[in-house]
Amino acid sequence: MLTLERLRPGHAEALLAFERENRRYFARTVPDRGDAYFAGFAARRRALLGEQDAGVCHFHVVLDEQGTLLGRTNLVDVADGAAELGYRVGERHTGRGVATAAVGEVCRPAASAYGLGALIARTTLDNPASRAVLERNGFTVTGELPVGGRPGVHYRRALGEDG
Domain chopping of the chain, boundaries: 3-158
Of the candidate ranges 24-38, 54-68, 71-85, 144-158, the one whose mean pLDDT is the lowest: 24-38
Q: How confident is the model at residue 161 (pLDDT cuts 50, 70, 90)?
A: low
Q: Say yes or no to pLDDT of 162 above 60.
A: no
What's the average model confidence in pLDDT over 95-110?
96
pTM above 0.95, yes or no: no
pLDDT value at residue 39: 85
Name the residue among 99, 90, 98, 55 with its Cα closest to residue 76. 55
Q: What is the average pLDDT value for the chain, to the nearest integer?
A: 91
pLDDT value at residue 106: 97
CATH second-level architecture of 3-158?
3-Layer(aba) Sandwich (3.40)
Rounded Cα–Cα distance for residues 114 and 58 (Å): 8
pLDDT value at residue 93: 93
